[in-house]
């Protein structure tokens, strides 16, 4: 079964991109291809001109489920990627720095079962960021959180993104979330997914969720999302 059909997209360094589309359309497949977990049967994906042929620490992936190791405390979970690469001995100070960056200083010895959902997601984010990825891939990382925690983590994610300058590709079903976070919102068609529309969100940050320009983007993207046909074409707005 074809998951993606003639998807052609260029993402600029340091850009924040959100992918939205019907469930099962291929958004997560696209993230897995960029991460190098899956291989495309046709076409190529490249970062800085280098074709992706497998996983690499310069491309970090965070899932909706934080997937922390239950037998490791928070510090060891964040350090696990550096440990696997054999460089933890020389990078241990960075583990603590990134734990502080995501607001978890003081919880280094806590185990996953003692962490709230929001804290576990922060730990998963720190684990990805400590590898200094060029591209951070986020697959609905806030989808399972309550509304208050979700909004707080949206702001934290923006703060970290602005501080680090990392390129982010973010999958979400929440149109408001996509507008609030993104430089551009990519609307995808049902499977096999194509790019139907690309919306440039021309709003200053921090963004007011209750402003008329914000409502206007929401209305236009919702209309596009609801009228997504089986075949799509790329448009710029």
Q: Please tell me the total count of domains within the chain.
A: 1
Residue 123 in any domain: the answer is no
Convert the pLDDT of each residue in 212-233 to its tens digit.
999 999 999 988 877 554 444 4
Residue 94 in any domain: the answer is no
Residue 1 in any domain: the answer is no
Residues in Cβ contact with 69 at an 8 Å cutoff, skipping those fewer than 6 apart = 76, 77, 80, 112
- The larger pLDDT score, comparing residue 224 to residue 18, is at 18
Instruction: Please answer whether residues 104 and 124 qualify as being in contact, where contact means their C-beta atoms are separated by less than 8 angstroms.
Output: no
- Tokens for 35, please give them: 């991460």
Give residue 26's pLDDT.
Answer: 86
- Mean pLDDT taken over the chain: 90
Radius of gyration of the CA atoms of the chain, in A: 18
The answer to pTM > 0.85 is: yes
Residue 91 in any domain: the answer is no
Give residue 230's pLDDT.
Answer: 43
Alpha-carbon distance 76 to 86, whole Å? Answer: 14
Alpha-carbon distances of 42 from 7, 33, 191, 194, rounded to whole Å: 11, 11, 16, 14
Residue 92 in any domain: the answer is no
Convert the pLDDT of each residue in 92-136 to its tens digit.
999 999 999 899 999 999 999 999 999 999 999 999 999 999 999
Residues in Cβ contact with 224 at an 8 Å cutoff, skipping those fewer than 6 apart = 187, 196, 197, 199
Give residue 68's pLDDT.
Answer: 96
Alpha-carbon distance 34 to 55, whole Å? Answer: 9
- Tokens for 139, please give them: 């697959």
Least-confidence region, from 76-80, 159-163, 167-171, 208-212: 159-163
Residue 180 in any domain: the answer is yes
Residue 177 in any domain: the answer is yes
Alpha-carbon distance 69 to 207, whole Å? Answer: 35
Instruction: Collapse the DSSP code of 111 into the 3-class scheme (helix H, G, I; strand E, B; otherwise coil) and give the result.
Output: coil
- Tokens for 91, please give them: 């990078």
Residue 215 in any domain: the answer is yes
| Range of the structural domain that residue 61 is part of | 16-68+133-226
CATH of the domain at 171: 3.40.50.300
């Amino acid at each position: 079964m074809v998951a993606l059909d003639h998807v052609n997209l260029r993402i600029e360094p340091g850009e924040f991109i959100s992918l939205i589309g019907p469930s099962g359309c291929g958004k997560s497949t696209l993230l897995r291809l960029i991460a190098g977990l899956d291989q495309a049967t046709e076409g190529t994906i490249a970062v800085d001109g280098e074709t992706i042929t497998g996983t690499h620490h310069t491309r970090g992936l965070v899932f909706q489920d934080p997937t922390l190791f239950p037998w490791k405390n928070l510090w060891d979970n964040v350090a696990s990627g550096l440990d696997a690469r054999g460089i933890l001995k020389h990078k241990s100070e960075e583990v603590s720095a990134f734990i502080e960056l995501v607001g978890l200083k003081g919880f280094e010895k806590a185990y996953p079962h003692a962490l709230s959902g929001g804290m576990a997601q922060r730990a998963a984010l720190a684990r990805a960021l400590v590898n200094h990825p060029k591209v951070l891939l986020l697959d609905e990382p806030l989808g399972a959180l309550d509304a208050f925690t979700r909004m707080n983590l949206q702001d934290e994610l923006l703060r970290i993104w602005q501080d680090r300058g990392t390129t982010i590709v973010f999958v979400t079903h929440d149109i408001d979330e996509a507008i609030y976070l993104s430089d551009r919102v990519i609307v995808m068609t049902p499977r096999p997914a194509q790019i139907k529309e690309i919306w440039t969100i021309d709003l200053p940050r921090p963004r007011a969720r209750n402003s008329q320009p914000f409502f206007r983007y929401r209305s236009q993207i919702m209309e596009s999302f609801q009228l997504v046909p089986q075949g799509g074409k790329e448009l710029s707005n």
